[in-house]
Amino acid sequence: MAEDAENTLVMELEDGAVTIALKPDLAPGHVTRIKELARDGFYDGLTFHRVVDGFVAQAGCPTGTGTSGSGKKLKAEFSKAPHARGVCSMARTSDPNSADSQFFICLDAANFLDGQYTVWGEVTDGMELVDALPKGEPPREPGKIKTLKVVADV
């Protein structure tokens, strides 16, 4: 199947590119918002502020603390999609409708998250770069997103 450029992201990390296939069929509102943020350059320069080995790599907080976002809350779009290795999902507070700009990439299966967090994409290339991000909550020297772009715009 040919790459759908409008529904594919390329995330440039310090060590190379990670490709993410978006899933508008599962989470149309989240996919729309992530593309808006990417097109605005919101994610460019942000860090992976929480990287837990065997669990997740989390980014999307403008302060790098895990406590802030873009200021626009999203309505939950939970699905039966499993939180498998490479899946991209939205972080949130205890309020199901509190996802904003923070997201995480599963480093391993995390099925206990299924149906409770919004799955919006999946890494299709470059997962080894996500695996190599510095670990910690926060890491001593966190990995950075150089740029996050919609492939159709590149």
For 59-72, the pLDDT digits (tens) are 999 999 999 999 99
Residue ranges and CATH numbers for the domains of the chain are 5-153 (2.40.100.10)
Quick: pLDDT tens for 26-42: 999 999 999 999 999 99
Average pLDDT of 122-138?
A: 98
79 neighbors 119 (Cβ within 8 angstroms): yes
Percent of the chain with pLDDT over 70: 99
Quick: pLDDT tens for 75-117: 999 999 999 999 999 999 999 999 999 999 999 999 999 999 9
